[in-house]
Amino acid sequence: MEREQEFDTAGIRFLTDFWQEKYIDEYIRFGGSKIKFVTGRPGSGKTFFLDQVSSLAGQAGYCTVDFSAREIWLNDFKDIYFEIFRQCDLMECLEGCSRRVVAGMGYDHREIPQGLTFVDFLSRENAFDALTRREIRTQLKEIFLDNPLLDNNFALACSMLTGSILGYPLLEDQNKTLLLGWLGGDRSVKLVQLRALGLSPSRITRYNARHMLRSLAEVIHIGGHAGLFVTVDDLDILISRSSLEPLHYTKMKREDTYESLRQLIDEIDSLRHLMFVFAFDRALMDDENCGLKSYQALWMRIQTEIHGERFNRFADIVDLDAMAAQEYTPQVLREISESFSKSLSSRDIRVLSLEQAEALLARAKLGNLGIPQLIYNTMTGGEDNGLEQ
């Protein structure tokens, strides 16, 4: 079993700090969008890396979404959108949008007592007249309906939901449930019910899901978040032949997934404030028959980088093994083993000596496991040990 969660940020800060500076704090925050792929041998720290960058993004004010390809089908992009929507609290984002309306009206949302809507507050101040109602509608129109990045029906739904938070225009609870159900892919929602609310919607499908995702990312940003940060782990399940896997990809589903990724790459520049990070074992690149190289339309888009002697932190395919070979020293391996010793204090283990760390670095160049996994095995006497304790 991989123990990618058990070591601290020793060594990997070389990359996480760079991503925070260049992408989280700058490029994505200021309207950019990006797709990254993270790979390495089993036990190289991929899951840990995803957890670290997602945590950094969350601390920087992003809405973060994390899931595994072992849990969510990737061959139909609508399922990816639905999972992202499920993990994002849309109403919390729209609360932020409602505060923009309040500010646009010349008020401070902090002046509104707890439990009162903006309209309740205005009514108590004898300020909720016809001109005020018109101004609220104008503010909602400018934020949502006049935004060219938003799907028209998505914008109208968000406008109505934000109005329900403000207290005007009024929206019944059952209609609020209908709108949220449609946005989240609830098949029980009848489109005719939405048409009665003024929408002209269609079902969310693989063909319009990316456009809906762009709308969601935009609303998340309008609501006060720096952007949307999505991590997807275990992409290598696409080539797994194990009958124990919860999801099994046929050749058709696998190629549909590759095509979906290709389309996302091609359209990424049309999105804003959004970053995707996919992680997978090296086998997904090494397998000529079923892996990424088997779908040339996708492979051509992600392998066009110039390879040099030094690890490229701007690379769109991040090889954690290559980073470890460049950045991990015997002292770094000792720090990682110290973290393991703290998390496994109940077991009879010892921190690596510098001599053991040097020997492990040399051995890692030839083995099939990443350095963190080798450290764990060495300390606990697991398989692939081979070093004196």
Q: Could you read off the pLDDT of 6-61 as tens digits, one per residue?
A: 445 667 889 999 999 999 999 999 999 999 999 999 999 999 999 999 999 999 99
Mean pLDDT of 191-215: 95
As separate numbers, helices (DSSP H) first and strands (DSSP E) second, the chain gives 17, 5
Which of 293-307, 333-347, 353-367 shows the lowest per-residue confidence on average (mean pLDDT)?
333-347
**Global confidence as pTM:** 0.91
Report yes or no: 143 and 79 within 8 Å, Cβ to Cβ.
no
> To the nearest whole percent, how much of the chain has pLDDT over 90?
74
Burial call 301-333: b when 16+ CB within 10 Å, e when fewer = ebeeeeeeeebeeeeebbbbbbbbeeebebebb
- Among residues 205, 237, 254, the one where a domain terminates is 205
Q: Are residues 279 and 225 in the same domain?
A: yes
83: in domain: no
Q: Let me know whether 297 and 338 are in one domain.
A: no
| Bridge partners of residue 85, in order along the sequence | none
- Give how many domains the chain has, as a whole number: 3
Residue 309's pLDDT band (cuts 50, 70, 90): low
d(CA 356, CA 28): 41
Same domain membership, residue 195 and residue 247:
no
Residue 288: predicted pLDDT: 93
Same domain, 357 and 266: no
Task: Identify which of 277, 234, 231, 272 has the alpha carbon closest to the alpha carbon of residue 65.
Answer: 231
Task: Establish if 284 belongs to a structural domain.
Answer: yes
pLDDT in tens, 90-131: 999 999 999 999 999 999 999 999 999 999 999 999 999 999
> Is 85 within the bounds of a domain?
no
* pLDDT reading at 389 higher than 50: no
**Structural domain of residue 293, as residue ranges?**
13-76+221-326
235: domain CATH number? 3.40.50.300
The answer to whether residue 216 sits within a structural domain is: no
Quote the CA–CA distance of 247 and 231 in Å, as a whole number: 18
Q: Is the pLDDT of residue 260 over 60?
A: yes
Residues 63 and 102 in one domain: no
Is the pLDDT confidence value at 346 over 60?
A: no
Residue 385 placed within a domain: no
Q: Which of the listed residues 178, 205, 232 is the one where a domain comes to its end?
A: 205
Residue 192 forms part of a structural domain: yes
- pLDDT at residue 305, as a whole number: 55
- Mean pLDDT computed over 168-192: 96
pLDDT for position 6: 42
Q: What is the mean pLDDT of the chain?
A: 91
Q: Do 305 and 228 have their domain in common?
A: yes
> Are 111 and 192 within one domain?
yes
Judgement on whether residues 116 and 197 belong to the same structural domain of the protein? yes
In the prediction, which pLDDT does 245 show? 86
**Assigned domain for 183 exists:** yes
Q: Give mean pLDDT, residues 221-230.
A: 98
Claim to verify: residue 60 and residue 122 sit in the same structural domain:
no
Q: Does 319 share its domain with 343?
A: no
Contact at 8 Å (CB) between 223 and 94? yes
Q: C-alpha 310: how far from its chain's center?
A: 28
Instruction: Round to whole Å and give the CA distance between 85 and 290.
Output: 30
Section 192-218 average pLDDT: 96
Note whether 225 and 316 are same-domain residues.
yes
Q: Are residues 363 and 320 in the same domain?
A: no
Give me the pLDDT at residue 379, please. Answer: 82
- Asked whether residue 18 is domain-assigned, the answer is yes
